[in-house]
Amino acid sequence: MNLPPSDPCPCGSGQTFGACCEPILKQQKPAANAEQLMRSRFTAHFVHDFLHVHRTYSETANEPYVADPEAGKTAWTRLVIHSHTPGANADAAFVDFTAYYREGDKEQALHEKARFHRIRGTWMYTGPARTGPAPIQAQAKVGRNEPCPCGSGKKSKQCCGKS
């Protein structure tokens, strides 16, 4: 699929394709961080540039590219980045995202927290750290004399913490 540089970038950054992902896909500039690489990988799926997807995945980057006849059957529609967080060091990061696609007449979602590493100065996708939404965090118990979590301004024992 050929996308004009003046069109909005499919990654949802708010920039034009020519200012956002196109230079990364064309290898005119590297992704500056894990989020930019994630955005470019989504855009590559959107425009069917599967060579970019291949060369930015650590498991396949050093292998010869062989086109997959099944690739391109998914109609990706939009990307939402929930967070971009650092990893254990400056060469590691995580991007939590939802990529949406059309299946029949319904929009479906792929939610993933992806792991990225900078290898020899280049950001690479290394795989999912988690698929699906983030687990629900248990709420810490509120002490009787602490402010009520409902936001009333009262002490917990005088509000929602009444027995």
First to last CA, the chain: 63
pLDDT at 124: 98
| Residue 149 predicted with pLDDT over 80 | no
For 25, 28, 33, 145, the CA distances from 36, given in Å and listed in that order, are 11, 14, 5, 46
CATH topology of domain 22-132: Nuclear Transport Factor 2; Chain: A, (3.10.450)
Please report, to the nearest 10 degrees, the dihedral formed by the alpha carbons of residues 42, 47, 54, 26 taken in order.
-100
Tens of pLDDT, residue by residue over 88-113, are: 999 999 999 999 999 999 999 999 99
63-83 tens-digit pLDDT: 999 998 888 899 999 999 999
Distance in angstroms (rounded) separating the CA atoms of residues 89 and 48: 33
CA distance 97 to 110: 8
| Average pLDDT over the chain, rounded to an integer | 90
Inform me whether the pLDDT recorded for 151 exceeds 70: no
As a whole-number percent, the residues of the chain with pLDDT over 70 amount to 90
